[in-house]
Amino acid sequence: EAQLQSVMKIMEEAPNARRALLENHDNLLSVADYCHSNYLQVSACCMKALEETKNFTTQSLASVAYQINSLANSMLSLLEAQTNQLRHLESSINLIVKFIIQNNKMY
């Protein structure tokens, strides 16, 4: 029961996580455009523009890494839950096979 709830929760969260990644992609493009135009416009303060670009890049990469890590952990949880479900099914099938074999030996 808990495994099924875990699987259902992950399946419900997956579309939102995907949307967040797509939004992050759009945000990264906006940041890249801003940094590019800012760097071209500011000739006197190139170091300031460069530092600002570095900061945006660091923050953006950290955000993407966090989101990917969260999705990867969710996928691992999903795979673990499915593996446990398959083990349970395998065990049930093995019991049924043993029961059938024993019944066939009796007749």
- In 1-107, which ranges are continuous DSSP H helix? 2-41, 46-106
Could you give the count of Cα atoms lying within 13 Å of 49 in the half-sphere of its Cβ? 15
Contact predicate 39/53, CB 8 Å: yes
Which pLDDT band holds residue 88 (cuts at 50, 70, 90)?
very high
Predicted local confidence at residue 43, as pLDDT: 63
Tally of domains within the chain: 1
Q: Tens of pLDDT along 36-81? A: 888 777 766 677 878 888 898 899 889 889 989 988 998 898 899 8
Q: Tens of pLDDT along 1-43? A: 777 787 788 888 888 888 888 888 888 899 889 888 887 777 6
Predicted local confidence at residue 44, as pLDDT: 60
Structural domain for 44, as ranges: 2-106
**98: region left, alpha or beta (phi > 0 left; psi from -120 to 50 alpha):** alpha
